[in-house]
Structures are given as C-alpha cells and as structure tokens.
Structure 1
Amino acid sequence: MCLSQGLLTWTLILAALTAPASSLPPVIGTDGGFVNLSGSLSLPASRQVTWSFNGDQIVIQFADGAPIYGPLYRGGRCELYPDTTLRLNNLTMADQGVYTMTVQDLDPLSPPQEQQIELRVYRHLTTPTLSSNDSRPVSGSEVNLHCDDDNQTVTSYTFYRNQQDVCSQTHVNCTGPYLIFQPIMEGDAGSYTCTIQNPISNSSSSNAVDLTVSVRVSAVKIQNNTNSILWVGRDSVSLNCSALGTDVQFSWNLNGEKLPSNPRYSLQQNDSLLIIHPVDRSDDGSFTCNASNWLNTNTSESLKLNLGLPVSEVKIQSNTSSSVILWAGNDSVSLSCSADGSALHFSWNLNGVPLPSDSRYQYNQDNSTIIISPLDKKDNGTFTCTATNVLNSETSSDLKLNLYWHPDGDIQCSANGTGQTVNLFCSWPGGLPPANINLTFQSHNQTGQDQVMHSVTLSTITSNDELFCHGAQGGQEKNCTLPLQKPDAEGFTNHSSIPVKIGEKATMTVTLSGSAVGVNSRVLSPKILPATFAWYHYKPEASEVSGGNIVSTELSSTLTLNSVTANENGTYECRATNLFGTTSFFFILDVTEEPVSKGLGAGEIAGIVLGVLAGLAIIGIIIFFILKSKKKKAKAQNFGINSAENPIGIPEYAVINKKNGGMAETSLTNNPQDDKDDVKYAVIKFQNQEQTKPPNSEPEVEYSTVKNASRK
C-alpha cells in the first residue's frame, strides 16, 4: 500500500515538473501574512490532490482522506481546503516562487492534471539609499548613480533631478536601480533622488545626492568698460574677467607679473572685477587674467589700457643737417616734431610767435610735420614745436635753419648831394651773407658790403661821367651804371601839338630815360637820377600849374586837364631838375570848338541864312580893306616905313582862301605852300626888339601854331 502510494506520488511530481506553467497572473502576498492559492482544474469525485513548491511536497490528499502536510508545512503553516485551495500562513520571502497543484483522477486512473501558480511575497518598503560612483564628476566622464533597495522586492525605480524625471534625456540610461550618464555634462549638476515601489507599498524616496559637475576652465576673456582715452591721474576704469568652468578662481597680472598691492586697485566679485581708480602712468602695460579650478588654469589674452599720458620728450628735427646751406626762394625743408604722450596736438612757433597762415607752409594731418616750400628769409630764426593734450603742454628746444638769401632786387646806383658835395652810392643790401660791393667812378675804386658811398665835389663831374657798381653774393653777380647828367627824355619832341576839343580831357606826360654815355659805359640800361618836376602855362607869361591834376614820381610827371576850356589853350612847360641841372620839356595844347552835328530846325535854318548874308557883307568889307591896305603898303614902301628909322612893325594880314567859302583857316606851318586851304594869322614882328621867350626855352621857339580847322 505504502509502496503504491509512493510511486503515485513521484508520478504526480514528474507530471507536475513536465506540465506547462500556469498563465494566470501572480498571486501577491505580504511578508508575515497569508495567501490563498486557488487552482482552476476540474475536480473528479475520486481524486488525489497534491501541492508542491520547488520540488518539495507541501500537502497531499487521497480521495476523501485527510490532507497529509509535509514536514515544513505542519503546525498550522498551511491548510488545504476541500476545493483544493491552499492557504499559506506566516509568509516569508522564502515562500516566493512557483507553486504546482496536481489533480489525479483515480477512477478510472488517467494522466494527472497540473496547474502552476506564482507567488510573490513582498515586504513593506523601507527608504532606499542613493549614491554616486564619483564624488567629483567631471564633465565628459561616465558617472553612475545607484538606488540601493536593501534587497527589497521592488517593482519600479524612478530617478529625479531637482524633482524632475531625468530618465528621458538622451545621454541618460536608467536600468533598474542604476542611473548611468553617458557622459555627464555640466547641465547635469543638481540634486538627485530615487523612488522605489512595489504592489503592497506606496512609493518610497531616497536621500538627495547633490552632483556638482566640474568643468575645465576655458574661454577666459577681459572686458573693458570703456574704449575712450583714460587720462592719467583723472579717469578710472573697470576690467571684468569672465571664463567658462566651475569653481573658477581669478587672479590678475600686469606685464606678466602678479598685480602689485596698490590702494588704486580694488578687486571685487570673487576677484573677477578689477577697478583702477585713478589710472596711473604705471598702468601702461599688458593686463592679463588667470582663471583656474582644481582641474586646470587658463589665461586670457592681454589687454592694454588706452592711457592718456602727459606730454613729454618733445623733439624737433629737420630733414637736413645743420651744416647744409639753404637758400631762400630756391630750397625747401621738412621739420618734424615728435613727443611722448597721448592724443597730441602740435603747433609751431617762429621766434616765439605762432607761424602765420602761409601757402608755403604745408602741414600733415596732426601738424607734427611741416614742409616749407620754398624757404623765405622770413623763416630765419628759431623754430620751436609745442605738443599739447588735455593734461599738459611741452615745447621743444630751438632749431635754427642754416638759411641764406640773396639781396632783394638788383644792385642800385644812386647819387644825392648837398651844396657842392655829391654822394655816390652802390647799394645791394638785404642779403645773407652781405653782398660784396665794388664802386667805380672815374679812377676811384672802393669796396665794401651791402652799400658803398663815395663823395665828390660837383665841379669835378663832367657830362660824360658815370657811376659803375658791381655786386657779388651767393654765386650771383649784378651790375648797374648811373650817368651823372641833367634830366633827359630820350625821343621826346619839344613843342609837339596836342589837338583837343573843348570839354575833352588832355594829358601831357614826361618820362625820364637814361642812356649809356661815355666810354666807360658797361650796361645797356643804366639807372636814372631822380628828379623833381614843375609845370608852367604861358598866357603868354609863364604861370605855375598846381593842384591835384599833377601826378609825379622821381622819374615821371603827368599833367591832366579834365574838360578842357578855351582858356587852357597854349604852351605848357615841364621842368625836370636833378643834381646836375634842369631840362625843360614843351607841349602846345591846341583847343578847338566842337562842330554842330545835330539836325537843324526851321528857325535854325533861317538863322543860318541870315548869318550867311551877313557874312557875305563882312567879306565884302574885308576885301575893301585889303585892297586899301595894299595901296597903303605901296605908299609905305615908297615912304621907307620898314627902314631902321621906322621901328613900328607892319602887320601881315590873313589871306582868304575862297575854296572854303571865304572862311579863314588855321595852319600848322608858316609856309602857305604846305596847305593851300590854310591862312596864316598875323604875327607881329618888330625889327628893333627881340621876341619874348619862355624861360629855359630853346632859340627860335614857335609859341603859337594854329591848327587847320579841317583837322579834328
């Protein structure tokens, strides 16, 4: 009996091991509690029911017999109900697994039925512990977080960063109790927690783990709060250092050395901000910022402050050496001014006075260079250059050009005198170095510089004498001669007639000229002695002309008569006087009336007719007197009136030319053959008395010449 029962039991066990597992959902149990495991197999009336777990028999029941419990399940550990439900009491975690129920139909004997049921035993969850495999993670490395559940049965793990689910990120892998960063980045820094959960417990959250992701220092930069000029001693500046990285510490260098301790330097904001108040000349250099953390150190590019430095070391230079001779009017020069300092403005002085505006002065953009082209003798002196900015001004030392220049104009020959003494001069002044002058007069030679004077008596000078001057300076030579004679106007014709109508303007001019006289003449165009001028009008006596209508220089004089009248007709004399005498120049002003050119009216025509008739009557009377005159002349000749005993002059009357309607006309000559239309007016001749002549006039002066009426 027992043997048969044992075989049956092993048969059932083998069948159970080979039977397919149940597809029913697992049964949930609580540690320390109980659970009912119920199958769904058909139950024959005559049956054998067996429950087993991991190969160990829990209970077996034959037909209507009482359940037989295995050794581990006795004492109330389990209970089999008539409907084959198995109750497990005092569950432990060891009870967790797959349970198998086998039902064997004993009448008739057939293959057993088998069903498997999974039991999951859960404890109430305790707080998990979250930890990291790297206490100082570095950006770019792989970091793991572990949610330790202390071997509790957990159905789900959830990870949070700053209370936000973190597992959705692409570089994060959440696998069971592990959170893996592949790799971790700076943005992953934060406070992490994990939460666990099972079917019998609410979720339980771990402690918080703060991750600080260390990042290497990079991109270190310095920024200046201003690009303007910072004037030393007056302005301030802020330098801000920035960098990428974590836990960055900042420090400053100046010209590669640690920034010295100075009350002008103020460090703020973890030393990333440097305030300099005020800036100083010692800040003229390269500032750099060092950014560092426990991983590395990085240094910024250098920054140089735009310091406004005061003016110093002002110097002036020429593009030529001091030994080079510069000639005014020919050469040019370039002067340059240099100085230390910021935002400099340059200005130039000559002999302590600012250079005037002059097209010869050409400046560059900042006035530091001036080109003088060409040089002028006005540029002789000391040049200085002044450099200026908002802080101060400073002036260079003096620079003097080695400047020479030629005398102004040509060499001058001149003479003046007092009484019987005549002073002769040769002058060519104004040059540097002074011109060498040689004066030659008669047999006398005299030398000097700039000007030479030689005095002689007036009585020793002849009309053929001349003064000769020679000058030499700077490679140039000049000559001049001065004839020592009374005034002359070469080509001037005395007593030339000047026809002018009443109301018009008449101009008479005398211009002195010189001629190379004597055997000692050495130039073609000699100098002329200056003269004084006086004008006279003969009416018929000479009366001096004065007033604003005379314009005279040392070498010329002009008399202008505006709106000429009949009273201004006649002879004019211009007397030119110098050291050696006076020369007179004569003009004859021929004033005529303006002919009528207007159209005539009826009354005017009648008047003309009456005038013609009256004229004819007068002509008849004139003819009568002429005939009578001829008779008297014949008688006079018979009586010897023209003899020495009769001093009375006989007038010569005008001859009437009938070609012009019987009107008398003037003549330019005394010869009737020169113009048959002309009549010579009477000229009174006295046999025993000389004619009155103008002063200083030449012999046989013709005082009155009457112009032909047809010449207008």
Structure 2
Amino acid sequence: MAILVSLLVLLFASLELTSTLIAHENIIDSAPGTAVYFLVEHTGSGISSIIWKFNTSTVIVEALGGSTIYYGAYKDRAKLFTNNATLRLDRVTHEDSGVYEVQVTDDNGSASSAKITLQIYTQMSNVTVVISPVSDGLVEDEDNVTLKCEAQGTSPTFSWSHAGKPLAENPRFILSTDHSSLVIKPVKRSDSNSFICKATNAVSSEHSTPVKLHIYYGPDSPHTNVSTAMCDSNYPGDYCVKEGAEVTLLCQAQCFPDCNYTWWHNGKPDSSKPVHLIQNAYFNNTGNYTCLVKNAYAKKWNYSNISIFIYRPPLGQIACNAEVREDQVNLSCIWAGGIPQTTIELKVGSTSLNGLNEQYYTIAKTDSNLPIDLQCIGQYAMSTQTCRLTLDKPKLSAPTGNKITAGLNADVRLLLLQMKRARRFSATELLPTTFTWSKADTPTIVSGNKFSITSNNTFSQLIIMRFQKADEGTYTCLARNSIGQKAFQFEVYSGNGAVNVGLIAGATVGTSAGVTIFLVAAFYIRKKKRESLNDDALKLNQSHKSQSEDVPPDACRDVKILDGSTSEDGAQVVYAQVKILKKKEKTAVDPADPYAKVDKSTKHRNTGVPDVVYSQVKISKKAENEGNN
C-alpha cells in the first residue's frame, strides 16, 4: 500500500512539472494599420525565457533573465507581455502577413511552443457593376445582358440582390463560379428593378450603387373601352350608339417606352390618340374600329378590333290601329322610322304575320268575330315594345241594378265613365265613343235649364237639376262606337221611403283593351228637415276631394251641400259620398249605423276596375223621425 501511494505522488508531481503553451487563435485576420494581439496561455512552473519569431528565421523579441530585447523594425511596433508570453504588434501592414512562432522555457527547463498565422486584408472599396453589352435599352424576350461586379480589396466574395431582396433562383439568372458575373438570358420587364452587387472579405463589405436595366416591352394586347351599351345579339356590331349621341373609344396597352396609338375606321386612320371621341354620331360612323399600338423602340406592334353600330330609334311608341269600313276591319301594327328597320309581329287569334316597320291585316266585321283581339310586338336594336287592342261593341259586363229613388229638389247626376286598367303593354284608344241621352218624353236630351250634359270620348254625365216628380222615368244613354252600340238605362223615381243606394253597372266598350265604362247613378237622395247642417255633412264635402285619378276632372268631384235648396215641405237635401277604393283597400262599415250601406258588386275579373262604394251621410234620430212624418 505504501508503494502505491509513493507512485501516485510521483505521478502528480510529474504532471505539475509539465508545461504547455496554448494559442487562443491559430489564424488572425486583420486590416492594415491596426494592432494585432497574439494571445497565448502558458501553464506549468514559472517562465524563464520567451522568444517570438516571424516566418521561422526573423526574431522579433527575446526575453531572458529579466531583460527583453526587440530586434530590427519591431523595436517601435512590438510589445511582449512576459507574464504570459502574449505579443502585440502595432500598425501592421501586408508585409506582416505570415506565420508567427513563440517558444517558452519554464523554470524546470521544460520547453513548449505555439504557432499563429496572421493574414492582413485590404478593406473592400470601389465596388461597381459593369453592364455589357452597352445599350440604351434591352428588348424583352429578345436581348441578353451580363452584369460584372468589380471591387478593390483582398480576397473578395460576391453576392447579388434584386429589387431589395437576395437574388432568387431563376433559370434565366446564370452566375459565374465566384459569383462575380451575372448573366440574364433573356431579359424580362421585371428585370427593370435595381440590381446591387455586394463584395465581402474577412474584414469588410461594400455595396455597389444600384444598377437599373432599361427594358423595352410591349405593346401587350390592347384593352378597349367604349362609353355605350353592348348591342343585342340580333344586331350587328359590338356596341350600339344612338344617332346624335357622343361616344368615346379608349385604347390602353402595357408598353415601355410609351407607345404610339392610331385608331383606324374601316381601313382608314381616324385618330392618333388613345382616346377617340365621336361627337354627334351619324350612320357613317358605323363600322369596324381598330386600335393599332406601336412600340418604336422595341419595333413591335399590337392591335384590337371592335365594331360600332349607329342606330335611330323608331318614332314614338308602337301603335295598334283599327279602321272600320262597313263590313270589314283593317288592323295594323306600325312602328316605323328606325334604323335598322323595326321587326313587327302582328297577332290576331291564331294568325301571326311578320315584317318590317308595319304589318296589316283585314278581318270581316261580323258578330261571330267579335271581340277582335289585336296584339303587336315590335323589336329594334335596343328595345322591345308591345301594344294590344280589343275591339267590340258596347255590352253590359256586370250590372247590379238600375232603379234609383231620388229626393225632391236634389240634383241627380247620372255618370258614364271610362277607367283604365294598368297593363304591361301600351293600350291606344282608337275607337272613340259617343254618348246620347234620352227619355221617353224627350227623344234627345240637351243641356238647358233642366238638364246639364257633359261628354267627351271617355265619359258622359247627365245632371237632372232640382229633381221633381215630373222628372221621374227611364233615362237612356246610348253608347256608340264604330263597331256597334249599346243603350244603358236608369229608372229614377222620387220617394220618402227607405233609401235606395243606387245603381252600379259596368259595360265593356270596344275602344281599347283594359278600358271599362261604368254607370254611376242616383247620388244625393236623402232628405232632412231644415236645420243647421251637422259636421258630418260638412266633412263629407271636404273628404270627397280624394278621388281616384282615373275619374274625369269634372266628374264626381263637386259633391256639396246645396244651401237654400228646399222641397215643398221645407226639407233640405243632404248628398251622399262616392268613394273609389284603391287596390287592397277595405271598407269599414259601422254596424251601429243603420244608414251605412256598402254595395255588394265585385271587381270584374277581366277589367280589374276598383269597386265603387256609396256611403250615406249619417242623420240624427230627430231628423229621421221628422223625415218619416
């Protein structure tokens, strides 16, 4: 055991006596003019001597026995740190590049050494990019270009960036082995962004100024825009322009430098600008237009074609016409004056005729043919219109009664009027209606002291002024058109009994589709003893102004209280109200009012005319009792 311990002691003692020398860096890169430290670390017993050499043979410094000696040119540039054998070398130059070796001997006489390589690099400067071939511009997809990076400095390495980003891999980008040259084959318009070369060595890096390539490209296929609507597929031309209108043709193409534009019209140059304005378009402006775009630098051109059609709309609206001559009816559809000509289709029953601008058809006027339903359909470049005409002689369509009881001294109005139904096609009134009023004792009633007649082609009204018992009887209105005629009758009587709300009768007259004649009779038929009129009667007079717009201006709009008009028994006349309900409107009836009545007639399913409601002025119980006495 004692022997083992002795061996271990000798082993550790020998390890402590062994000295080593370690260099912190085996290679040092530095730039001229700087100070370089050759850092080493010595382990073991104390240092007795140090010696530094350059490239094996040249002694830089030597330390022995407490004295340090510098040799040659190193006297002013070298500094030895004897505590750890580190050397500092000031103001290095390219000539200082080489291998430096240090040898250290410790107090036990053990020697150790280390070597360090110093490389002096010149910093990068004057980095430039040379373009070849030299050219003002390069044509896209045709030309190639080489970018050569040159720089001053020691051992440079090169890298490239494009548009502010590292150069991406691209089969068109070909780099040399050292990356100093970049070949672009072929150039594209995207290469117009800046290229930058970066030169780098161990001690510095430097960029070139951005290099911008001028790439001539285009024209691409021109894009055209026209300030008008596209034509219908049934008509020639891409775009349709109304005669006299202004139209702008715009042509645009991607191009560098800016291209030259020429608009050609039917094979002849028409404008040398990308925007071509046609003012007051006329028919000679119809035709093919070509936008020709040229790039004088790239020696390329491109074009785009469009066609324009100038049209004139037909005059007015499409017309459905009928001319009645004895035993025949001449029908026609007319919509002329347009360019191109309007296509017309005339339909009567199962018969269909087609042509341009106008079509005619004759049909016998017999009762078996009535009603005659004519439909016209017209088409031209930008529009389609239709009209319809139904021809028939007057006839009742929805009668609900014809006996009226009127109060004495009332002004009784008998009204015959037309009301139009809204349709999707135009309805032209072509067969005017004439009205003739008569009574058994008066073959033809004319306006005078007793009667007032107002008529036109659409309505007729008869007012019996201050109605008396002598005025009782049957009143007839004969409605006549060129197809036929029909008589409408009113039986008007006086009486003090229950109020007869009156007659509501409808008659379809053969003038045009969707027109109905209504007979409205026996308005103001309730009597009241002389006394101040109540508020209800006054309100009635005011509310009557909100009538349907389809009623003629002077018909059913002057319902009022006749102040001072009295009967023999001193009664005063109170009028009733007429109201034409709009679509979907409901009539509210007070069930507690024994005098409020609503007519039960319904809307005719063909004419679609609104219901007419008669509502009576509410009379106080006192007045009612007096009226029954």
Give the TM-score of the pair, scaled to structure 2: 0.38
Structure number with higher strand proportion? 2
Structure of greater Rg? 1
Structure ranking higher on relative contact order (CA contacts 8 Å, 6+ apart) = 2
Q: TM-score, normalised by structure 1?
A: 0.34
